[in-house]
Structure 1
Amino acid sequence: MKRTALLFLLACLSLTAVAQTTTDAFAKYEAKEYKASGEMYDKSLKAGKGTASDHYNAACSWALAGNKEKAFAHLEQTVAKGYTSIGHMQQDSDLSSLHSDKRWAKLVEDLKRNLATIEAKYNQPLKTQLEKIYETDQQVRREFMAAMQQKGAESAEVKELGQKMEQIDTENQKKVVAIIEEHGWPGKSMVGSKAQMAAFLVIQHAPLVVQEKYLPLLRKATEDGELEKRHLAMLEDRVLVGNNQPQKYGSQLRLNPDTQKYEFYPIDDEVNVDKRRAEMGMEPLGEYARRQNIEYVFPKE
């Protein structure tokens, strides 16, 4: 038993190290240090524990660094690990330098064949229904955020859109709950990535009692590879904040009524938040804050 526990501990430490290194590699990518980013990805993915997204990001870094061999090597791993976003890959400007290479056409064809095989197993009616829910969920939020920026939080337009968003959320919640009760969690192997994201977003936007009810189901879905760890982290934080407790991963923001700027809800054990975020495949909190235009100073130990 002691030996088993030790092996489990070592495995956890290894996965944490991989997550942290890929997070650092992505930070190098954002800093436009593409070769350094690619080298960090190579090091962290050498043991074969990386996801399709990790290899895709590595390919982008190497393509931008001008190394086609390494870029294609990672793209082949991306396809092998089940990547399905063919439209995104074809439109991604990071990979433009690869399009004239004969390997690109073969890669696209391989991806199309894999995608057709995967999609043949989907529950197509359920996929269509959830993708429509995804669009309604996101469209009203795009309108709401645009009005917030243009008109301000106290404007009549924002208040009207807030009410519209609540109504849509209630309608979507009824539909998704009915789906879950009949089919279980509609994971990516059942309906694909976009459709399963719709189910997650609806639960994320639901009242606290609904979030708490389905949180164990989402934990199980994450264990089974049907939901990304970073999405589970967001719901874990949402439930904690809903219960007036400090969040664990720093994913939740609030609008400061005095400054009218966004800030983080209180974070438990904040000096170690990046370690927890790395375990869930999330970027460092400082990077996240920068992307959200939040003024943030990481606490000293």
Structure 2
Amino acid sequence: MKFYYLAILLINLLGAIDVCARDCETDVIKTEKRLATNLEYINYVISGNRSGHDLTNTYYTVSVCYAVLGNYDSAIYYLPKDHTSLVNLDDIFYEECQITHSWKKAAELIVADFKSKHSNLKNLDLAMELTRLSGREQSVMWYGFYLQKGSSCDKLKLAHQQLHKKAKLILESLKGKDYPTVNDIGAEGMKSLFLLIQHSDDNVALQKLFKSKMEAALKKQTYTDTLLITQLAFLTDRVLVNEKKLQEYGTQFDESHHLLPIRDAINVNTRRLLVFLAPLNK
């Protein structure tokens, strides 16, 4: 059992970034491995929890870092309960790092477990693709944040650009379709799709298109989809900020984690309650 957990940890480390340009893959892998052995980086990721980023992805990163350092007790401590997540699982790293058949078998178990748990989804393939891609993007983002503190890494920036292009292709393929629901791609798939839309800041028109799709999906539903309602609130603010307007719900912050200006700020908490968001602290 311990071997299985450690296999999962190492697979997540090796599968953190997917890039299309072959000449930059090796450099990105080296950068990731170097950061994974840096205790300062581990502390940086842990402290990043305060910024509101996804805790599951964060703890995966911390967990694999400790695994590389050989501190397996800490690695297992930080491992999320759902250790069979598809996040950051990427076949391309098997070839680069000469992973053995045993490690590949562990990866197959992850995929099989995901399919078993989500066999009732109408679009399981899309759910898996979205989950993998959003996990890779989050991983690249975390390493990028850390590197910006000091030196820059052009290869890592290129990796992020390649991931952005891949995400754009997926979103483009969904433009002519109805917005997926929990029944289509599951809660995890919906969170992953929303993340890709949120990060498409260079294409506000695309964000607005998906915003209208989300609104249409809510009108069709006969139940209260709290997840979709909250995501729509976030996207609404994102679009407004990208258009240099005041946000409605207070979900968007600047790079220094300062809340961006809000329309009718005195009543913002009333609006937040309507979209299932906790009140802002005064």
Q: Does 1:263 align with 2:258?
A: yes
Match of 2:162 in 1: 167
Contact 2:253 2:259 in 1 (8 A): yes
In structure 2, how many angstroms separate the alpha carbons of the residues matched to 1:214 and 1:228?
12
Match of 1:188 in 2: 182
Match of 2:228 in 1: 228
Secondary structure of the structure 1 residue equivalent to 2:254: strand
In structure 1, how many angstroms separate the alpha carbons of the residues matched to 2:167 and 2:118?
26
Deviation per CA, 1:265-284: give whole Å up to 9, x if none: 11111111111111111111
Instruction: Give the C-alpha shift of residue 119 in structure 1.
Output: 3.3
After TM superposition, the score normalised by the length of structure 1 is 0.49
Match of 1:279 in 2: 274
Match of 2:144 in 1: 144
Deviation per CA, 1:86-111: give whole Å up to 9, x if none: x55xxxxxxxxxxxxxxxxxxxxxxx
Deviation per CA, 1:235-286: give whole Å up to 9, x if none: 000111111111011111113xxxxx32111111111111111111111111
Letter in 2 for 1:173: K
Radius of gyration: which is bigger? 1
Residue identity (%): 25
Instruction: Give the C-alpha shift of residue 218 in structure 1.
Output: 1.3
Number of positions where the alignment pairs a residue of Structure 1 with one of Structure 2: 166
Pairwise CA RMSD: 2.8
In structure 2, how many angstroms separate the alpha carbons of the residues matched to 1:179 and 1:144?
28
Tell which has more relative contact order, 1 or 2 (C-alpha 8 A, sep 6+).
2
**Cα distance change of structure 1 residues 121 and 254 upon mapping to structure 2, 3 Å threshold:** closer
Higher helix share: 1
Match of 1:61 in 2: none
Q: 1:204 aligns with which of 191, 198, 201?
A: 198
Contact 1:221 1:227 in 2 (8 A): no
In structure 1, how many angstroms separate the alpha carbons of the residues matched to 2:230 and 2:193?
15
Q: Does 1:156 align with 2:149?
A: no
Instruction: Give the C-alpha shift of residue 138 in structure 1.
Output: 1.8
Match of 2:126 in 1: 126
In structure 1, how many angstroms separate the alpha carbons of the residues matched to 2:181 and 2:272?
22
In structure 1, how many angstroms separate the alpha carbons of the residues matched to 2:226 and 2:186?
9
In structure 2, how many angstroms separate the alpha carbons of the residues matched to 1:227 and 1:164?
30
In structure 2, how many angstroms separate the alpha carbons of the residues matched to 1:144 and 1:132?
19
In structure 2, how many angstroms separate the alpha carbons of the residues matched to 1:164 and 1:200?
21
In structure 1, how many angstroms separate the alpha carbons of the residues matched to 2:276 and 2:142?
26
Instruction: Give the C-alpha shift of residue 118 in structure 1.
Output: 6.7
In structure 1, how many angstroms separate the alpha carbons of the residues matched to 2:278 and 2:217?
22
Deviation per CA, 1:114-139: give whole Å up to 9, x if none: x9797324322222222222222222
Gaps of 5+ in 1: 1-86, 89-114, 256-260, 287-297
Secondary structure of the structure 1 residue equivalent to 2:258: strand
In structure 1, how many angstroms separate the alpha carbons of the residues matched to 2:118 and 2:270?
34
Letter in 2 for 1:200: F
In structure 2, how many angstroms separate the alpha carbons of the residues matched to 1:179 and 1:196?
13
Match of 1:290 in 2: none
Instruction: Give the C-alpha shift of residue 179 in structure 1.
Output: 3.3
Contact 1:248 1:273 in 2 (8 A): yes
Deviation per CA, 1:218-248: give whole Å up to 9, x if none: 1223443384222111100011111111101
**Cα distance change of structure 1 residues 228 and 160 upon mapping to structure 2, 3 Å threshold:** same
**Cα distance change of structure 1 residues 161 and 267 upon mapping to structure 2, 3 Å threshold:** farther
